[in-house]
Amino acid sequence: MRIREIETTPYEDQRPGTSGLRKRVATFAQPRYLENFIQSVLDVLPERDGATLVLGGDGRYHNDHAIQVVLKMAAANGVGRVLVGRGGLLSTPATSCLIRRHSADGGIVLSASHNPGGPHGDFGVKVNGPNGGPAPERLTEAIYARSRAITSYRIAEAQDVALDRTGEARLGKMAIEVVDPVAEYAALMERLFDFDAIAGLLRSTSFRMRFDAMHAVTGPYALEILERRLGAPPGTVVNGTPLPDFGGEAPDPNRVHARALVAHLYGPQAPDFGAACDGDGDRNMILGRCFFVSPSDSVALLAANAHLVPGYRAGLAGVARSMPTSRALDRVAERLGIRCYETPTGWKHFGNLLDAGLITLCGEESFGTGSSHLREKDGLWAVLFWLNLLAARCEPVAQIVRAHWRTFGRHYYSRHDYEGVEPQAARRLTEDLRARLGDLRGARFGEDVVREADDFSYTDPVDHTTASGQGIRLFLADGARVVYRLSGTGTEGATLRVYLERFEPEPSRQDADAQEALADLARLADEIAGIRARLGREAPSVVT
Ligand code: G6P
Ligand code: ZN
């Protein structure tokens, strides 16, 4: 095998965001763009010689090409062994699972998660560390620094590696193992959940569910686990074949992008339970018949019911949520007598807490839920957790959630996104808010009084690193909260996210529509920040 060293010059825009390097396909398709980034990743791997890596992707456009480039570059850079998913496919949680089970030195997931795919869509590269979780900031910053100084990359001159069948192959000295993308992940799920009870539920004639894989990577996982192993009727999984453009839709499991599933769950033929996952399989959306479960409620409810699930019967060490996620989880933690940590947005911030055994369950408002079983959020895991609860409690989804609200109070919650806005205007909006924090404390707006206002910063209790500037928080005197934050995952313009939360302890007032219950708060959020005026938008582009 001949190794070529090819001269290159840096691209200046290869700083990974909240979740890896994410750009338009056209950006990634530029000469040497992917190669520069991969060489930068390989250059900062602490022990590259003889290292074991896990590699896969969500099957989006450019996946096939990129996976061959990564394999050839790994071989040329002295990597010892690569486990790669058959067909180049691996979900993000399955990658995390394989890294941990094989004590690999890290992993690479080729995905732009829930962003659209296809030639005009997005592509991405996510890098994971030896704990199976997203690379921490110090590693992504090192990759970025390297990408700005790079002068050459190394790549093997070789035929493409056949990935269509499991088995061993070689690229020079490097061993390649093409693995079944589903097997080890499915085995882990069987250890955590009561598969007999779930199978009983899925096979009974009185229960029906639909799982929407959104033409993305969870199709093969859901078909194997839900239909083959658990015996759900054929057709339970829809859109189960991964497509390079995800059928033209963003594979994002929320009420906007998964509208067909939502319409089905609210329609005349509605089944009892509905769920969907995103492009790379780490996000989840949970629905009951004519009922949407907010992700913030979902993680709180899983924590409150964890004792019903075999893998969590021993109790929870602690829990965590990202700052903008509603405080429903905090109330459960209080009741359980455990700690609830509040972290910045981004799954990587849960990694240290999980590694140190401080928490067992964690979740985010952005449709991410997970636990100590991996170091990534895990969409199908959340679906199986819910199925286990439904099997154990024999009650409909809506009834379980309403009972939860009666016990703990309801946190009305919504996120309003202003996507693709002018980056400078968005930055100025948050900077001005930051500059006004002192004035906002104690300020009165009609009936509302701002009790506290700050810019969230977090010191990791394990490695003591600090992340500041993580979102502007306004706490109102009546307990409501508004958070403003700029997204770290977009590829076009900027996205302002406004997170609205209002607590309602009174059961007779817990059944309102969330948007109605939060309408006044949304108006106040706009009044304080001047969103419409400054961004030139009349309304949010996405409401979740
Ligand atoms: C990814 C990350 C999540 C994060 C989400 C939203 O999915 O893995 O941890 O919550 O993006 O991030 P953003 O910066 O766009 O709000
Ligand atoms: Zn994802």
Ligand nearest to the CA of 19: 1
Q: Tokens 């965590």 map to which residue? A: 320
**What ligand 1 atom has the least distance to the C-alpha of 346?**
9
Other beta carbons within 10 angstroms of residue 508's beta carbon come to: 6
Confidence of residue 489 (pLDDT cuts 50, 70, 90): confident
Which protein residue has the closest C-alpha to ligand 1 atom 3? 346
| Distance from Cα 332 to the centre of ligand 1, integer Å | 24
| Distance from Cα 376 to the centre of ligand 1, integer Å | 12
**What is the number of residues in the chain?**
544
Which protein residue has the closest C-alpha to ligand 1 atom 1? 19
How far is 282 from 490, CA to CA, in rounded Å? 17
Catalytic residue among 96, 113, 294, 296, which?
A: 113
DSSP helix/strand/coil, 116:
coil
How far is 52 from 117, CA to CA, in rounded Å? 29
Q: Tell me: the pLDDT tens digits for 467-476?
A: 999 999 999 9
| Distance from Cα 108 to the centre of ligand 2, integer Å | 14
Q: Tell me: the pLDDT tens digits for 318-328?
A: 999 999 999 99
pLDDT of amino acid 19: 79
Rg, the chain, Cα only? 23
Q: In the chain, what are the domain boundaries?
A: 2-181, 185-397, 410-543
How far is 347 from 378, CA to CA, in rounded Å? 11
Which protein residue has the closest C-alpha to ligand 1 atom 2? 346
| Distance from Cα 366 to the centre of ligand 1, integer Å | 6
Q: Tell me: the pLDDT tens digits for 456-465?
A: 999 999 999 9
pLDDT of amino acid 76: 97
Q: Tell me: the pLDDT tens digits for 91-105?
A: 999 999 999 999 999
Ligand nearest to the CA of 417: 1
Tokens for 475? 């706490």
Q: Tokens 């453009």 map to which residue? A: 245
Note whether 2-181 and 410-543 share their fold: no
End-to-end CA distance of the chain: 51
| Distance from Cα 262 to the centre of ligand 1, integer Å | 22
Distance (Å) of CA 42 to CA 77, 100, 128, 169: 7, 19, 12, 21
Which protein residue has the closest C-alpha to ligand 1 atom 13? 487
Confidence of residue 381 (pLDDT cuts 50, 70, 90): very high
**What ligand 1 atom has the least distance to the C-alpha of 377?**
8
> Which of 73, 72, 96, 74 shows the shortest CA–CA distance to 85?
96
Q: Which residues contact 514 (CB under 8 A, 6 or more apart)?
A: 294, 412, 413, 414
**What ligand 1 atom has the least distance to the C-alpha of 365?**
10
Tokens for 387? 């199925």
Q: Ligand 1, from 421, 489, 492: best to mutate by most atoms within 8 Å of Cβ?
A: 489
Tokens for 208? 């029906």
Residue 14 · residue 21 · CB < 8 Å: yes
**What ligand 1 atom has the least distance to the C-alpha of 495?**
15
**What ligand 1 atom has the least distance to the C-alpha of 489?**
15
Judge whether residue 355 has pLDDT over 80: yes
Ligand nearest to the CA of 278: 2
Other beta carbons within 10 angstroms of residue 185's beta carbon come to: 26
Q: Ligand 1, from 21, 350, 364, 498: best to mutate by most atoms within 8 Å of Cβ?
A: 364
Using alpha carbons only, give the angle 170, 175, 180 rounded to the nearest 5 degrees. Answer: 100
Ligand nearest to the CA of 133: 1
Q: Tell me: the pLDDT tens digits for 194-229?
A: 999 999 999 999 999 999 999 999 999 999 999 999
Q: Ligand 1, from 19, 96, 113, 122: best to mutate by most atoms within 8 Å of Cβ?
A: 19
| Distance from Cα 111 to the centre of ligand 2, integer Å | 8
Alpha carbon dihedral 538, 539, 541, 542, in 10-degree steps, equals 180
Beta strand 361-364 with 318-322 is parallel
CB neighbour burial string for 75-97, b if at least 16 within 10 angstroms, e if fewer: bbbbbbbbbbbbbbbbbbbbbbb
Q: Specify the CATH architecture of the domain 185-397.
A: 3-Layer(aba) Sandwich (3.40)
| Distance from Cα 112 to the centre of ligand 2, integer Å | 7
**What ligand 1 atom has the least distance to the C-alpha of 488?**
14
> Which of 131, 132, 80 shows the shortest CA–CA distance to 109?
132
Residues less than 5 Å from ion ligand 2, measured at CB? 113, 278, 280, 282-283
Lowest mean pLDDT: which of 105-119, 276-290, 335-349, 489-503?
489-503
Q: Tell me: the pLDDT tens digits for 12-55?
A: 999 998 779 999 999 999 999 999 999 999 999 988 899 999 99
pLDDT of amino acid 491: 67
Q: Tell me which fold the domain 2-181 belongs to.
A: Alpha-D-Glucose-1,6-Bisphosphate; Chain A, domain 3 (3.40.120)
Residue 298 · residue 271 · CB < 8 Å: no
pLDDT of amino acid 488: 81
Percent composition of the chain: helix, strand, coil (DSSP 3-state, to 5): 35, 25, 40
Q: Which residues contact 489 (CB under 8 A, 6 or more apart)?
A: 17, 18, 19, 22, 113, 115
CB neighbour burial string for 4-33, b if at least 16 within 10 angstroms, e if fewer: eeeebeebeebebbbbbbbbbbebbbeebb
Residue 228 · residue 189 · CB < 8 Å: no
Q: Which residues contact 44 (CB under 8 A, 6 or more apart)?
A: 139, 142, 143, 146
The CATH H-level superfamily of 410-543 is: Alpha-D-phosphohexomutase, C-terminal domain (3.30.310.50)
Residue 150 · residue 39 · CB < 8 Å: yes
113 is catalytic: yes
Amino acid at 100: R
**What ligand 1 atom has the least distance to the C-alpha of 348?**
9
Q: Tell me: the pLDDT tens digits for 137-185?
A: 889 999 999 999 999 999 999 999 999 999 999 999 999 999 999 999 9
How far is 114 from 19, CA to CA, in rounded Å? 11
Ligand nearest to the CA of 470: 1
Q: Establish how many alpha carbons lie within 13 A of residue 196's alpha carbon, considering only the half-sphere containing its beta carbon.
A: 1
Q: What is the DSSP letter of 12?
A: S
**pTM for this model (two decimals):** 0.94
Pocket of ligand 1 (CB under 6 A): 18-19, 113, 322, 345-347, 364, 366, 368, 487-489, 497
Q: Tell me: the pLDDT tens digits for 122-138?
A: 999 999 999 999 998 88
Tokens for 143? 């990759």
Q: Which residue has the higher pLDDT, 491 or 407?
A: 407
> Which of 444, 59, 337 shows the shortest CA–CA distance to 215?
59
| Distance from Cα 201 to the centre of ligand 1, integer Å | 33
How far is 347 from 321, CA to CA, in rounded Å? 10
pLDDT of amino acid 245: 96
Mean pLDDT score of the chain, rounded to an integer? Answer: 96
Q: What is the DSSP letter of 206?
A: T
pLDDT of amino acid 202: 97
How far is 113 from 91, CA to CA, in rounded Å? 10
Q: Ligand 1, from 109, 347, 365, 486: best to mutate by most atoms within 8 Å of Cβ?
A: 347
| Distance from Cα 399 to the centre of ligand 1, integer Å | 30
Q: Tell me: the pLDDT tens digits for 280-332?
A: 999 999 999 999 999 999 999 999 999 999 999 999 999 999 999 999 999 99
Q: Tokens 């099997």 map to which residue? A: 391
What is the value of ipTM here, to two decimals? Answer: 0.96
Mean pLDDT of 50-72: 97
pLDDT of amino acid 138: 87
How far is 263 from 269, CA to CA, in rounded Å? 10
How far is 339 from 331, CA to CA, in rounded Å? 10
pLDDT more than 90, % of the chain: 93
